[in-house]
Each structure stands twice: as C-alpha cells, then as structure tokens.
Structure 1
Amino acid sequence: MVNLRPHQQSQSTASAEAADGEHGDTAEPSWPLTTWQGWHRFATTDPVTPPQPGDPPRSRDERLAYHSAFVTIRTPAISTLATQVRTLMIPGRHQQATARTSLIVTGPAAARKTTALLHVGRACHLAHTRKNPAPPGSAHTAVPVAYVLVPPGATAKTLITEFARYLGIPTTTPHDQTQITDAV
C-alpha cells in the first residue's frame, strides 16, 4: 500500500485540455484520457520541458500551456509507487488461473494519487511498447495500460463496461456482463 502526502492543488487537466482545444493547437480530436486514443496520446507525448537559459521568451499562450501541463517531479513517493507496480506486474504476467496481485493507493484528497498513477502508467506503457513493438502491418495494437474511472458503488458490469468504453467497443445494445467481457 502506498500513502502519498498531500500537495498543493493545481489547475485541472480538463481545463488545460480545454484551453488546448480552444486555440486549435491540436491536429487530432481531443480524446478523453479514459479512452485508448486519449491515453495513447498522453503516454506518447513528451512531457513539457522548462525553458532553458538563453531560450527566447515564450508567448503568453506557451507560458500558460506550460504552467497548466502538470509537470510531474519524480518524488520518493512516486519512485516507491513505480517500484511496487513493477514488482506486482512480474508475477501478474505469469499468473493465469487465479486472481492477480493488486495494489491500493491511499491518501487524503488532493494528495496527487491520480497524478502519481498517471506518471507510473505512462512509464509502464512506454517500457512495454519499447520491449514489445507492434509487428509491421498489425491491425491490433497492444494495450499495456488501461486508465478507467471506477464510480463509487460500481458493479462488475459497470467496471467491464468502462473497459469496453476505453477500448472503443460499443455497448449501446443490451449486452449482459459475459458478452461485454468476451468482447473486451
């Protein structure tokens, strides 16, 4: 179990994405992070870098975009979380018949738990795709990380429906839990 210390609250990702979309800075549609397209874009886009000495001054929009981009600093808590996630992934790769090990991240509100998990998820995604590149001409891309939101009181069907939505699998017609699970 990892307990992260509280941090100061900063501007939300949604407002940063909204600002990005308002100015027409994106060439592709703005997919939410809870979809494969949104996650893949997040994971494969280089984090913003601070200005370097001698760089020309940035425009107002560039400065605002930088300060709203959630620059993540690798703190001891994030390093511990990353180590625990990687450690749990090793037996999980080989365990097929029983429940896989899991990790609960706890902490007070605004402790940056989600930010830490996003940082670790990006690192896991990039490490997996580096080690296991998609074969040329492959129609299916590996999905090493899934970022889904689990609403309070979620059922098994609610959770598998979130995974289906993440993967772009339509669930508009009435499907039972088994059918959705098979599709996912």
Structure 2
Amino acid sequence: MTDDPYALFDAWLAEAEKGEPNDPNAMAVATVDAGGRPSVRMVLLKGHDRRGFVFYTNRQSRKADDVAGNSQAALLFHWKSLRRQVRVEGAVEQASDAESDAYFASRSRVSQLGAWASDQSRPLDSRETFERSFAVVEARFEGGAVPRPPHWGGYRVIPRAIEFWEDRPGRLHHRRLFLAQDGGGWIDGLLYP
C-alpha cells in the first residue's frame, strides 16, 4: 500500500479509465457562496498533479462566484462500477493563463465557440436566444482560430484532505484518509465505515 495519495489516485483513476463506462474523470464539485449556501455540480477533471486537481469553467459562473467569496471546495469522484470513491477537500486557486490557454486550444471548435456564446449559469429566456448568440460568435471567428475568452479558465483544488473509500460486503467499507501537513508531506490513517 502506498503512502502517497497522488500515486494511489493515479492508480485508481487508471483502473476507472479501463472499467468505468462513462466519463471516469467526472467529479462533483461542491462550493459554498459568501452567504453559506452550498451548491454542487458535475464537471470533468482536466488535469491533476502534485499541485492539485484542475477543472475549467466560465469565471462568471455560479461556481466561480462561489469560489471568489469562499475559496474552499470539495470534489467527489464516484466510480460505481468499481465500487470506489475519492473525496478531496481544499483551497481553490486559479490555474495560470498559460495552462488555461493550452487546455482551451485542445477543445473542439464547437466547445470553444460555446465558451464565447454562453453566459453560463445566467437566466436564459429561450434556447433560440442561445443559438443566435452561438451563430454570431461562429460568424465572428469564421476561418480563424478561436482565442480563449478572458472570462474563461481553470481552477485548481489544492488538497488538504484526500479520502479513498472502497465498498465492502455488509457495508463494512474501507476508508483511508490522507491529511496534508504544514511544510509538505502527508499523514494517513483509517476511518470507521
């Protein structure tokens, strides 16, 4: 058994990529706004390393507004077919412009155009309004590259806690918790199921 939560996460994610039928990189992101109201939604993990776990979004979305007022978040990966989950809790920081530019350039053209056309999380009077906005953006960038919008980029959750949960018969689950230490390193232990 490894004492490195990043190595353990890599191993579990690799197994999920082989066995989970849909979006093994899907994760729930929970945030809390400045007024203490929680919100959770599914997003896709788009990068991870020893600095943390990265996802991308419109920086004018509700999750971005929440992070601006309370820079803490929790992530949950649930791989039902493997009967495993990983919980991550920690501080949130913006990914660098270079990271955001590189990931944006890797997206499909339709996704790039959608990032410009969508006022994510804001009220929409009709689908036709969004489709007209998309058509305007599509015409604007016709024949050229689509740059990353200034209001779109990545966020990195820097873990202070990572819990690995495995289903066991009779609900006698196995839970292992890693806690980040000041100055680096981790301590780990087990939790009652």
State the TM bucket, normalised to the shorter chain.
under 0.3
Bigger helix share: 1
How high is the TM-score relative to the length of structure 2?
0.22
Q: Which has the higher contact order (CA 8 A, sep 6+)?
A: 1
How high is the TM-score relative to the length of structure 1?
0.23
Bigger strand share: 2
